[in-house]
Amino acid sequence: MSGELAADVRRLVLGAAAVSDHERAARADFTTFFPDEHGPVSRDDGPDHATASALVFDPTLTRTLLVFHAKGQFWVQPGGHLESGDASIADAALRELREETGVVVSGLVEPLAYDLDHHGLSSAFGRCSSHLDIGVAVVVSEDAALIVSDESEDVRWWPIDALPDQVPPGFDDRVRRLHDRLLR
Among residues 92, 97, 105, which one has the least CA distance to residue 9?
A: 92
- What pLDDT shows up at residue 151? 85
Q: Whole-model pTM above 0.75?
A: yes
For residue 109, the model assigns a pLDDT of 79
pLDDT at 121: 64
pLDDT at residue number 2: 61
Looking at residue 122, its pLDDT comes to 61
Q: Any residues with CB less than 8 A from the CB of 79 and at least 6 apart, and which? A: 51, 52, 53, 54, 93, 96, 100, 133, 135
What's the residue count for the chain? 184
The per-residue pLDDT for 184 is: 80
- Whether the CB-CB separation of 178 and 115 falls below 8 Å is answered with yes
Q: Which domains does the chain have, with CATH numbers?
A: 3-183 (3.90.79.10)
HSE value, Cβ hemisphere, 13 Å, CA-based, for 82: 32
**For the chain, which residues score pLDDT lower than 70?**
1-2, 120-125
How big is the chain by its Cα radius of gyration, in Å?
15
pLDDT of residue 70: 87
Residue 72, C-beta contacts closer than 8 angstroms, at least 6 positions apart: 122, 124, 125, 168
Residues with Cβ within 8 Å of residue 35, at least 6 apart in sequence: none
